[in-house]
C-alpha cells in the first residue's frame, strides 16, 4: 500500500504505474481516493472545530456554575449536547471515509522500481544472468519421480489414500536427502549472519491483509474451519507479521532472519506426467530469508539476497539463472522481484526454485511496523527470498547429480548431513 500523501501529490505517477502493470480497470481508484481524502480532511477539520467549540462551552459552564448562574449553565449544557451529537455524526462520517479510502488504497499497486521491465505477463519476464554451465549429458535423465522410485523413495499411492492427490510420502535415503538440503540451507544462512527462526504455521486474517492481497491468499490458502486462522503458504507471512504494530530500534536494523516451515497451498499438479511427480504439491518445506531495513538500503539487500540463493544452488552443483519479473507479473505490493531458476537436464530448460522480492514499505505501512530514529519514526522496508523449497529444490539436485548407472552423486556440502555418504545407489530396477 502506497503513502496517501504521495498519491495526493502525484496522482499522475500513480496512474502511470497502474498502466504499466496493465491494470487500467484500477485507474478510477486514484480519483476516488483523492475525492474521498478531500471529504475526509474536511470532516476531520469539522471535527476539530466541534471539539474546540465543546471545550470552550465546557469552560463557560464551569465559570457560570462558580458564579451561581445555574440556569445559564444549563442552557449551555444543552448546547454541548447538540455539539456532541454533531461530533458523533461527524466521527461516523470520518470512519466511513477512512474505511472507503483504505479499501481502495489496498487495491492500488505499489510503485515499481524504474528498473522493472514492462510486460503483460510471465511470458515477458527477462533473463538476467546464468550461473554455471547448463549441461545435457550423453545419457538419458529419467523423470524425477522415476529417479526417486528407483531408490524406493516415493509413495504417492498411499498418500492418495490418506490425504488425496498432490500429497506424497518420501522414504529412506531420498527423505534423508530432502532433509539434508533443508538442514544445509539453515546452516548456510546462519553462516551469512541470519538468525534462525521457526515461526507459527498459522496466521490470522489481519496478518494476511498486512502481507498481501487477501483475494490472492484466499485462492491458495487453507482456512481452519470455525477459526480466524489460515495455514501459511510461506513463512514470510508469519515472520513479517511478528512485527505488527511494533517499533524496532534503528540500531537493530537491518534485522536479518532465516526461517524454516512447512508450507501448504491449494495448488496441485497438472494432468499427466507432472501430476505423478513433485513439481506442484499441496505440502512442502521451505527455508526462507527475511530482512527488515531502512528504506534507502532495501535495493542493496535485494541484490544480496538473490545472490545468496544463487550461491546456495551453485554449491549443490546445480546451474541456475535469474529471471526478472516484468510489470504485469509483479504482485501488487512488490517493488521489484526476480525468480531463481534451476537447470533441468531432463527438460533442457530452467524451472523456478526460488523468488526474491522487495516490498519497500508497503507491508510495514499495512502492519504499522516502524523504527525509532534520531530524527523521528519511520516505516521500515521489508524483503523476502527463498533459500530453498523442497521437494522442488530436491528435483534440481537429483537431475543435475544423476549418473549414467542410475546413482546420485551427493554434493560435497550435503555429505556431512548424509552420514558421510558420497553416492546413493538405486535399490529398485
DSSP string covering 248-287: EEGGGPSEEEEEEEEEE-S----STHHHHSSSS-SEEEEE
Percentage of residues of the chain with pLDDT beyond 70: 98
pLDDT of 272 higher than 60: no
| pLDDT at position 275 | 60
List of domains in the chain: 4-105 (1.10.287.40), 122-424 (3.30.930.10)
Of 243, 232, 249, 280, nearest to 395 by C-alpha is 280
**Cα angle value 125/128/130 (rounded, 5°):** 120
Q: Give the 3-state secondary structure of 206-244.
A: HHHHHHCCHHHHHHHCCECCCCCCEECCCHHHHHHHCCC
Cell of 18: 497502474
Average pLDDT in the 214-218 region? 82
pLDDT tens string 69-127: 777 777 778 888 888 899 999 999 999 999 999 999 999 999 999 999 999 999 999 99
Q: From CA 157, how far away is CA 300, in angstroms rounded?
A: 46
| pLDDT at position 148 | 96
Cell of 33: 481516493
Residue with cell 524425477: 144
| CA dist list (Å): 364 to 127, 143, 360 | 30, 43, 8
> Taking all residues of the chain, what is their mean pLDDT, rounded to a whole number?
93
Residue 318: DSSP 8-state: -
Percentage of residues of the chain with pLDDT beyond 90: 83
pLDDT of 262 higher than 60: yes
pLDDT of 429 higher than 60: no
Q: From CA 278, how far away is CA 168, in angstroms rounded?
A: 8
pLDDT tens string 179-197: 999 999 999 999 999 999 9
pTM over 0.85: yes
Residue with cell 496522482: 11
pLDDT tens string 130-179: 999 999 999 999 999 999 999 999 999 999 999 998 999 999 999 999 99
pLDDT of 218 higher than 90: no
Average pLDDT in the 51-76 region? 78
Cell of 111: 510503485
Q: Identify any residues that bridge with 117 across adjacent strands, giving them in sequence order.
A: none
pLDDT of 268 higher than 70: no
Average pLDDT in the 22-41 region? 96
Of 237, 240, 335, nearest to 292 by C-alpha is 240
C-alpha 304 chain-centroid distance: 17
Name 304's Cβ contacts closer than 8 Å, sequence gap at least 6.
none
Q: Are 354 and 360 in contact (CB under 8 A)?
A: no
Helix ranges (H only) for 247-327 are 273-276, 298-314
pLDDT of 17 higher than 60: yes
Using CB atoms within 10 Å of the CB of residue 395, give its burial: 0 to 12 exposed, 13 to 18 middle, 19+ buried: buried
Amino acid at each position: 500500500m502506497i503513502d496517501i500523501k504521495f498519491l495526493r501529490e502525484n496522482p499522475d505517477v500513480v496512474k502511470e504505474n497502474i498502466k504499466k502493470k496493465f491494470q487500467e480497470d484500477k485507474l478510477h481508484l486514484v480519483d476516488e481516493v483523492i475525492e474521498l481524502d478531500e471529504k475526509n480532511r474536511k470532516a476531520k477539520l469539522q471535527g476539530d472545530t466541534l471539539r474546540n467549540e465543546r471545550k470552550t462551552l465546557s469552560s463557560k459552564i464551569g465559570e457560570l456554575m462558580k458564579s451561581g448562574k445555574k440556569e445559564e449553565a444549563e442552557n449551555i449544557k444543552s448546547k454541548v449536547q447538540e455539539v456532541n451529537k454533531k461530533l458523533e455524526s461527524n466521527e461516523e462520517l470520518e470512519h466511513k471515509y477512512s474505511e472507503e479510502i483504505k479499501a481502495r488504497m489496498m487495491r492500488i499497486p505499489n510503485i515499481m522500481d524504474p528498473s522493472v521491465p514492462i510486460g503483460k505477463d510471465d511470458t515477458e519476464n527477462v533473463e538476467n544472468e546464468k550461473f554455471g554451465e547448463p549441461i545435457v549429458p550423453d545419457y538419458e535423465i529419467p523423470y524425477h519421480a522415476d529417479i526417486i522410485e528407483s531408490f524406493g523413495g516415493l509413495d504417492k499411492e498411499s498418500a492418495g489414500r490418506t490425504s488425496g492427490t498432490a500429497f506424497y510420502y518420501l522414504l529412506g535415503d531420498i527423505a534423508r536427502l530432502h532433509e539434508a538440503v533443508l538442514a544445509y540451507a539453515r546452516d548456510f544462512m546462519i553462516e551469512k549472519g541470519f538468525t534462525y527462526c521457526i515461526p507459527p504455521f498459522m496466521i490470522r486474517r489481519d496478518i494476511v491483509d498486512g502481507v498481501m492481497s487477501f483475494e490472492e491468499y484466499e485462492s491458495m490458502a487453507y482456512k481452519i474451519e470455525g477459526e480466524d486462522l489460515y495455514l501459511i503458504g510461506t513463512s514470510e507471512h508469519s515472520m513479517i507479521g511478528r512485527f505488527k504494530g511494533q517499533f524496532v530500534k534503528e540500531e537493530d536494523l537491518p534485522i536479518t532472519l532465516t526461517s524454516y516451515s512447512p508450507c501448504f497451498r491449494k495448488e496441485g499438479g497438472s494432468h499427466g506426467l507432472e501430476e505423478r511427480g513433485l513439481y506442484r504439491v499441496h505440502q512442502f518445506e521451505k527455508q526462507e530469508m527475511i530482512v527488515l531495513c531502512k528504506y534507502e538500503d532495501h535495493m542493496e539487500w535485494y541484490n544480496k539476497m538473490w545472490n545468496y540463493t544463487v550461491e546456495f544452488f551453485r554449491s549443490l552443483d546445480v546451474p541456475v539463472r535469474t529471471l526478472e519479473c516484468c510489470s504485469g507479473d509483479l504482485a501488487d505490493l512488490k517493488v521489484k522481484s526476480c525468480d531463481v531458476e534451476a537447470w533441468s537436464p531432463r527438460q533442457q530448460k530452467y524451472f523456478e526454485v526460488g523468488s526474491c522480492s522487495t516490498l519497500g514499505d508497503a507491508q510495514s505501512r499495512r502492519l504499522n511496523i516502524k523504527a525509532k530514529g534520531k530524527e523521528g519514526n519511520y516505516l521500515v522496508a521489508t524483503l523476502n527470498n527463498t533459500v530453498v523449497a523442497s521437494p522442488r529444490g530436491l528435483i534440481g539436485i537429483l537431475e543435475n547429480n544423476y549418473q549414467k548407472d542410475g546413482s546420485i552423486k551427493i554434493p560435497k556440502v550435503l555429505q556431512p548431513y548424509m552420514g558421510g555418504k558420497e553416492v546413493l545407489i538405486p535399490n529398485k530396477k
